[in-house]
Structure 1
Amino acid sequence: MLLENKVVVVSGVGPGLGQALARLAAAEGASVVLAARNRDFIENVREDIVSRHGEAIAVPCDVSDPAQCEELARQARDAFGGRIHGLVNSAYYHGEWSFIENADPTDMTRGFDVNCLGALRLTQAFLPLLRNGGAVVNVSTMATVRPYAGDHGMEMGYAVAKGALNTLGKYMAADLGRFGIRVNTCRMGWIHGQPVEQHIQSMVDAGTPREEVVAGITSDIPLKVIPPEEDCARAVLMMLSDYAAVVTGASLDINGGHWIAP
């Protein structure tokens, strides 16, 4: 199995990619630490993993609070023997859709605090446990390289904060290699899970045929599918595995070819 005998921490375990990452990591043999602000949700995911004979603990954590990040690291250490092999920084705050003229700097500051500094805080808290072979993956977005907008505004605040995370990841990789820690970034595009399915259904409910909604999303995706949630999670977790043992400082685009980096 891809992550057999490894301990993996996943932040931002919510209804989207986060829960898929946690479930798949467990299925691939990892002991999993689930973290998010929603205690009930992560406990439900933990119970599901355990019911399938996996190992997991669920620890509420707000990555904007350094004390909670430190407590997460303490509980992970105590539960699984003091060694962490992988950390996935997928906690996020999306914030408002806006145009330049009505962008709220306060909301954008909140996005930066969670999306970028949250990953920094959590990585700092886990540094002692990641030394000598650990790996970090920062989950980012295609919107950092391909601006996305709709009638209600642009995905600007979220993308700008994740753009900062992209740069932070490069500095993490350059610095933490001396401790034997790899750091990579995964830039996600459309992910066909619960949140996207809700978006599709809302448009169907408004009168647009489902086939038309899906065709609109996939029209400029070369693979002509909305990338399935589990396949996206597999690509992220591969970066934690031994198959990427000498890969650090890289950015992996996971989007079915929707954005192809130069």
Structure 2
Amino acid sequence: MSKADLSKQPAQVSAMFDDVSTHYDRTNNVLSVGNAFLWRVATTKAVAPLPGERILDLAAGTGTSSASLAATGAQVVAADFSPGMIEVGRRQQAGNPNIEFLVADGMNLPFADDEFDAVTISFGLRNIVEPKVALGELYRVTKPGGRIVICEFSTPPLTPIRLGYSAYLQRVMPALAKVASSNPAAYTYLADSIRDWPNQATLAGWLRAAGFTDVGYRNLTAGIVALHRGTKPLSATSPGPESSTTGVTQ
């Protein structure tokens, strides 16, 4: 069984997700105690896909999030670094004309500049070895006036919840992963990567540094997850200076 470490070497990360691809959605539902569905609904609403729009769903995994976006009539490119995940997604979404599956590197996206009306990534940015590079790529492929939505694990602002969540990651999640996952060791990496990930304000700063404006975030599930949003300026030709105010809703 493959397990990546916090160096996030691309080959390790890809192999690890290949290993967990078969039971990935089931395991997510178990480990999130059913919240994965609610987070997906919130992300889809934040992206606000429209019929005919072209949307990039990066780190799409098996395409569950892509299917939610495509249900509105948008054309979704479901991209992931793991060939195993993409293969499962193609099988699960066979016959869905609104989703195109593609193996792609988040730090070197195989798309033209200004190609997508919206870009989104859920629970995948922290698995990329250089997340700031990935944000630059997402900025590049977004059309001027287009939007970005990131759903990612984050830092609960309330100390009791933060301590309780840390205990869950350390003790409860590994036990659940042994029951639900085809590669329980991979979820040790998951817990480590969540603890190592920066807080909401830091990620908002990264988005502004990449050039996005109107940057804001909203906490979900008491801040265990945060939903970040931003817009590529209509006049954009390259990443611009930091601007806008980060809005926070607990």
TM-score (norm 1): 0.48
* Structure with greater Cα Rg: 1
Question: In proportion to residue count, which structure has more strand?
Answer: 2
TM-score (norm 2): 0.50
